[in-house]
Amino acid sequence: MGLELKPEEQEMLEGKHGKAARKAMEIITTLGEIYGAKRLIPVSSVQIAGVSYDNLGEAGLEYLSEMAEDGQTRVLTTLNPAGMDMLEWKKHGIREDFAKNQQRVVDAFEKMGVVTTCTCTPYLIGNLPHYGEHIAWAESSAVCFANSVIGAFTNREGGPSALAAALTGVTAEYGLHLEENRIAQVKYEIHADLKNTDDFGLLGQVIGKRTGKTIPYIVGIKNATTEHLKSFSASIATYGGVAIFHMEGVTPNRTTIPDVVEVVTDDDLRTARTELDDEEAEIDFISVGCPHASIKEIAEIASILDGKTVAEGKTVWITTAKPTKDLAMKMGYYDKIERAGAFLVADACCAVAPLKGRFTGLMTDSAKACFYARGKNKFKTEIRTVEECIREAIS
């Protein structure tokens, strides 16, 4: 039996709710048919990726403008990072022509009713589903965090399919929307000392590479903060393509425990660190906040930078969500960071901003940021703790 549609869904497909809703429903039903879904299910939250004009280009912008002619979101929808801080882009060295186009992208989303705050940590700023809720998110680290740490149900959507879910309020029921596809397949015993976000990023790199798309069940992690888990989610999704993990005593999903066992040791983490450390890296760019920094991380960074000055020839980006930046302004953290010569950058990140050719060496606490810095921007990289990154900036 094929995909069954409810009357309203059928109406959307027939164009009775406008052109954009028809296109959106075509995308969703096509995906549903490809993946053998039997029905569509409502989603309560959407997060759309592919927002940077650097990735979208003119063709992407044209598509969005067309959808914005009569498209309207039906559920809470936020955006992934754009290519620049939507307000302070000039002082971050973003070109005017790029800024104009990026603004046109965000305007198109806004016209459709999208809440145009651009972040990969929507769960820190109010786009927060609960356990068991079906959602349609696109950014890989956020998807992994939502499925694993929150226990919400989402596939990793592409930009167009996430927008389609926003405009119809539904998604096709397949993949990680079904309990049976969320069961752990390999057990990972962690015999390693994990202290900081960089360690959790390296753990994600080790497990991600080994596990590929098989779902891990991780044991041996005694304490993990939200910051650790967002770093881990980003890294395991980047290096392994896995969109869900289970962590015993930490994450909420029910699963059986697999018989196949893998072990991760301190040596594995050391090897992973060596892989991300380019010996000849000359650090001229320090970026923290991948995934976007929490207010707790920003407070810590502000206290290290307070009264200090960023060394000449070095640029520092602390990337975060706009509402978190606003809070940092209220709390005086922004002033401490910016007085030191570092930038608190909202709405953007070091991977999706147009930074190619501007720097040669990135120091970061994020294994995911290293991946994109090398691949997309051809920077050399070094991975350190947040504190070491900031100390490097002022040395």
* Interacting residues with ligand F3S (CB under 6 A): 80-81, 120, 139, 141, 234, 290-292, 319, 349, 351-352, 368-369, 372
Q: Please, where are the H alpha helices in the chain?
A: 7-13, 19-34, 53-68, 96-111, 140-145, 159-168, 197-211, 226-240, 266-276, 295-305, 322-330, 333-339, 367-375, 386-394
The residue written with tokens 């705050």 in the block is 117
Name the minimum Å distance from CB 293 to ligand F3S. 9
Name which of 29 and 324 has its Cβ closer to ligand F3S. Answer: 324
Name which of 88 and 189 has its Cβ closer to ligand F3S. Answer: 88
Q: Counting beta carbons within 10 angstroms of the beta carbon of residue 41, is it exposed (0 to 12), middle (13 to 18) or buried (19 or more)? A: middle
Name the minimum Å distance from CB 141 to ligand F3S. 4
Name the minimum Å distance from CB 303 to ligand F3S. 22
Please choose, from the candidates 318, 325, 315, 322, the residue with its C-alpha nearest in 3D space to the C-alpha of residue 369: 318
Name which of 190 and 373 has its Cβ closer to ligand F3S. Answer: 373
Name the minimum Å distance from CB 121 to ligand F3S. 7
Name the minimum Å distance from CB 342 to ligand F3S. 16
Tokens of 144: 């992994």
Name which of 170 and 288 has its Cβ closer to ligand F3S. Answer: 288
Q: What is the DSSP letter of 39?
A: B
Contacts of 134 (CB under 8 A, 6+ apart): 41, 42, 43, 44, 152, 153, 154, 171, 177
Rounded to 5 degrees, φ, ψ at 107 are -60, -40
Name the minimum Å distance from CB 29 to ligand F3S. 29
Name which of 346 and 349 has its Cβ closer to ligand F3S. Answer: 349
Tell me how crowded residue 280 is: count the other CB atoms within 10 A of its CB: 7
The residue written with tokens 């502000």 in the block is 302
Name which of 168 and 320 has its Cβ closer to ligand F3S. Answer: 320
